[in-house]
């Protein structure tokens, strides 16, 4: 089947693949709220973000749901990524919210405002075993010990590497047992003549992965209090900065700017200016088509422990739905093996179900015209850490950006920057 070409949206980091700027469809108004249809049956509205590729994948899945539940009339509503949160919250507040909604890292901004329904009772009545079916990402959509969404898309962050340069330098392929020292050693050997060994760590899923690998936490899961200003997190941050300014094996902001407008790790890797790059699933299809470099994928390194960020989203029932039991039935089907199959068949993303990640259809997809070690995704899944998806997530992201801006320019060290970030988080996080 034809690969769906998508590009990542940085708002949905740990939230899977976003839509390209082209072909985004905005549909306004028309909340469904599980009302009775004039033609009989029940009407439902499902909101997602994205563009035409996402629309095709979700619609294919909803068509399967319609075949299973012919009395359900399900309308798919796409909302541009940048407008999604505000639009959906306004719809819910006005009583015209969707029945089913895609959620990502800001899910608890909804659940903390009573805009989502807790699904635990409905899950208990179903045959769905969240942990057995989805692994660690089953915990991502919990708030105060209640589950507010079912995992739908979830791919671990992986490492892309230039196989030709690894072979030329005699460097063994990266493995899950690589340490920080192994990463640094390989990056040093691969750096030179305007080429960098590694893409960098400024993106929060990357530096947070280092922090969690080092035994650190951003938000203490027990108390809910910020824990950035700790030796574990400080050491991880300093290692990340040292890759750029001390060891000079990763590009700085200035170095990236000199490569061209808008160039980051993904584009630099594709052009052969970066030899290793940590990112998500979405580059596989584009790299396979470009055929500009020789490459493969591998697991991300480990620290004192294995911990890696994941990108994905879940499906939730909004409190606006007048038929929440039926809305949950739709979600239950869409997160079944049959319901998630189009995600992998169309190359949209990594399905959250562990059985599908280990299936031959995912490991050797028909749309992929390249030899790629897709086994890296199911192998990495057990090491996915639960991210700090607190209700104040958006404020937290701004605090991280502001507190670490000088740090990523090499103007402050990890100790000072972590102390600054700690104070900012303490002022916004309601433990």
Q: Is the dihedral of CA 215, 218, 224, 226 positive or negative?
A: positive
CB 103 within 8 A of CB 113: no
The pLDDT score that the predictor gives to residue 12 is 44
The Cα–Cα gap between 137 and 134 comes to 6
**Whole-number Cα distances in Å, 110 to 72, 92, 219, 301:** 26, 10, 19, 34
CB 162 within 8 A of CB 276: yes
**Whole-number Cα distances in Å, 390 to 19, 141, 143, 271, 328:** 25, 10, 8, 37, 24
What does the radius of gyration of the chain's CA atoms come to, in whole angstroms? 22
Dig out the tokens for 299 from the structure.
């697991």
**Whole-number Cα distances in Å, 49 to 17, 107, 187, 218, 240:** 10, 14, 37, 28, 32
- DSSP class of 277: E
Listed by start position, the domains of the chain span: 10-155+310-381, 158-308+387-428
CATH superfamily of 158-308+387-428: Periplasmic binding protein-like II (3.40.190.10)
The pLDDT score that the predictor gives to residue 22 is 26
Q: pLDDT digits over 251-284, tens only?
A: 999 999 999 999 999 999 999 999 999 999 999 9
Q: Which residues contact 405 (CB under 8 A, 6 or more apart)?
A: none
The closest alpha carbon to 56, from 16, 98, 99, 19, belongs to 19
Number of other residues whose CB lies within 10 A of the CB of residue 2: 11
The Cα–Cα gap between 49 and 17 comes to 10
CB 101 within 8 A of CB 47: yes
The Cα–Cα gap between 113 and 430 comes to 14
CB 107 within 8 A of CB 141: yes
Q: For tokens 């090499």, what's the residue?
A: 410
Q: Comparing 10-155+310-381 with 158-308+387-428, is the CATH topology the same?
A: yes
Q: What length does the chain have?
A: 431
Dig out the tokens for 286 from the structure.
């584009």
Q: For tokens 């300093």, what's the residue?
A: 238
**Whole-number Cα distances in Å, 56 to 60, 63, 283, 344:** 6, 10, 19, 13
Q: What three-state secondary structure class fits 197?
A: coil
The closest alpha carbon to 153, from 73, 228, 48, 1, belongs to 48
The pLDDT score that the predictor gives to residue 129 is 96
The closest alpha carbon to 9, from 17, 201, 351, 387, belongs to 17
Number of other residues whose CB lies within 10 A of the CB of residue 71: 10
Strand partners, 219: 226
Range 10-155+310-381: architecture per CATH: 3-Layer(aba) Sandwich (3.40)
338 phi and psi angles, rounded to 5 deg: -65, -40
Q: What three-state secondary structure class fits 217?
A: coil
**Ordered DSSP codes for 299-368:** ----SSS--B-EEEEEEEEBTT-S-HHHHHHHHHHHTSHHHHHHHHHTT---BS-HHHHTSHHHHS-TT-
Written as tens digits, the pLDDT of the chain (431 aa) is: 333 433 333 334 333 343 322 222 233 333 445 555 545 689 999 999 998 889 999 999 999 999 999 999 999 999 999 999 999 989 998 889 999 999 999 899 999 999 999 999 999 999 899 999 999 999 999 999 999 999 999 999 999 999 999 999 999 999 999 999 999 999 999 999 999 999 999 999 999 999 999 999 999 999 999 999 999 999 999 999 999 999 999 999 999 999 999 999 999 999 999 999 999 999 999 999 988 899 999 999 999 999 999 989 999 999 999 999 999 999 999 999 999 999 999 999 999 999 999 999 999 999 999 999 999 999 999 999 999 999 999 999 999 999 999 999 999 999 999 999 999 999 999 76
The closest alpha carbon to 107, from 96, 118, 99, 97, belongs to 118
The Cα–Cα gap between 40 and 69 comes to 13
The Cα–Cα gap between 350 and 280 comes to 10
């Amino acid at each position: 089947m034809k690969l769906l070409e998508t590009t990542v949206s940085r708002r949905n980091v740990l939230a899977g693949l976003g839509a390209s700027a082209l072909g985004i469809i905005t549909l306004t108004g028309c909340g469904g709220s599980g009302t009775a249809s004039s033609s009989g049956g029940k009407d439902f509205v499902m909101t997602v973000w994205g563009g035409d590729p996402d629309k095709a994948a979700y619609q294919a899945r909803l068509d399967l749901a319609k075949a299973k539940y012919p009395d359900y009339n399900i309308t798919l509503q796409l909302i541009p990524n940048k407008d999604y949160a505000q639009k959906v919250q306004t719809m819910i507040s006005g009583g015209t919210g969707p029945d089913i909604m895609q959620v990502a890292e800001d899910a608890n901004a909804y659940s903390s405002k009573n805009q989502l329904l807790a699904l635990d009772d409905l899950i208990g009545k179903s045959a769905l075993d969240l942990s057995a079916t989805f692994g660690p990402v089953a915990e991502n959509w919990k708030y105060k010990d209640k589950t507010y969404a079912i995992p739908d898309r979830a791919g671990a962050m992986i490492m892309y590497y230039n196989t030709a340069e690894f072979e030329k330098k005699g460097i063994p392929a990266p493995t899950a047992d690589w340490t920080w020292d192994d990463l640094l050693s390989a990056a040093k050997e691969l750096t030179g003549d305007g080429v960098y060994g590694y893409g960098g760590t400024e993106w929060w899923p990357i530096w947070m992965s280092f922090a969690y690998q080092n035994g650190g936490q951003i938000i203490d899961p027990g108390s809910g209090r910020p824990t950035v200003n700790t030796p574990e997190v400080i050491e991880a941050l300093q290692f990340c900065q040292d890759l750029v300014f001390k060891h000079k094996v990763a590009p700085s902001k200035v170095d990236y700017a000199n490569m061209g407008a808008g160039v980051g790790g993904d584009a630099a890797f594709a052009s052969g200016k970066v030899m290793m790059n940590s990112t998500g699933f979405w580059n596989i299809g584009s790299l396979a088509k470009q055929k500009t470099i020789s490459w493969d994928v591998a697991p991300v390194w480990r620290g004192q422990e294995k911990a890696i960020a994941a990108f994905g989203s879940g499906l939730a029932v909004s409190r606006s739905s007048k038929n929440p039991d039926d809305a949950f039935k739709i979600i239950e089907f869409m997160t079944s093996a049959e319901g998630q199959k189009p995600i992998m068949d169309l190359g949209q993303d990594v399905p959250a179900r562990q059985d599908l990640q280990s299936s031959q259809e995912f490991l050797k997809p028909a749309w992929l015209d390249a030899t790629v070690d897709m086994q890296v995704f199911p192998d990495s899944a057990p090491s996915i850490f639960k991210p700090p998806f607190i209700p104040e997530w958006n404020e937290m992201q701004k605090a991280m950006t502001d507190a670490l801006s000088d740090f990523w320019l090499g103007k402050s060290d990890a100790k000072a920057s972590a102390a600054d970030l700690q104070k900012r988080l303490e002022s916004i996080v309601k433990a």
